[in-house]
Amino acid sequence: MSRSTRDLVLAAFFLALGLLMPFLTAQIPSLGARLLPMHIPVLICGFVLGGPMGLIVGFITPLLRSLLIGMPPMFPTAVAMAFELAAYGLLTGMLYKKTRSVYPALLIAMVGGRMVWGVVSFILYGLSGSAFTLNMFVAGALINAVPGIIFQIIVIPLIIIALQRARLI
């Protein structure tokens, strides 16, 4: 299998995971908002396939899930998440390629993606005539997301290190 075919298949795999993983928390929607299951495959995609493909998978995943399933709601949630997840995929890929260090790439990408989400949310809420406050940003980017952030910081490096040891990345 050629590298481009392999990468396309893996990108489709990460996209499918991003669409399906939220079903694990679907019975308790507030749990999904806290565990951030859609973020995990996008972050891993950036590590495995690099920044450009991570950006594409990250951008498409929440929009496609909204179109197919209706969750998250398209505006403003899925649109803001599309930019956030695109930043995750791009940043993990770029930073990992430069440093070959998992934790710095992951942590910087997580902060960068949340910053992008905040800026895009501020713009989208403003366009709809609503306010996106600092309290909304802190709640969405930090307080409500703490379980997911902790889970990502523990699980994603373990997956990436296992893939490194298996010489898959």
Domains in the chain: boundaries:
3-165
pLDDT at 147: 92
With a cut of 90, say whether residue 114 has pLDDT above it.
Answer: yes
| Torsion sign over Cα 63, 52, 46, 115 | negative
**Measured between alpha carbons, how far is residue 59 from residues 42, 100, 122, 132 in Å?**
9, 24, 18, 21
Report yes or no: 91 and 51 within 8 Å, Cβ to Cβ: yes
For residues 154 and 110, the answer to whether their CB atoms sit within 8 Å is: no
Mean pLDDT value across the chain: 94
For the structural domain made of 3-165, what CATH number should be given? Answer: 1.10.1760.20
Q: What is the pTM of this model?
A: 0.94
34 vs 47 pLDDT, higher one: 47
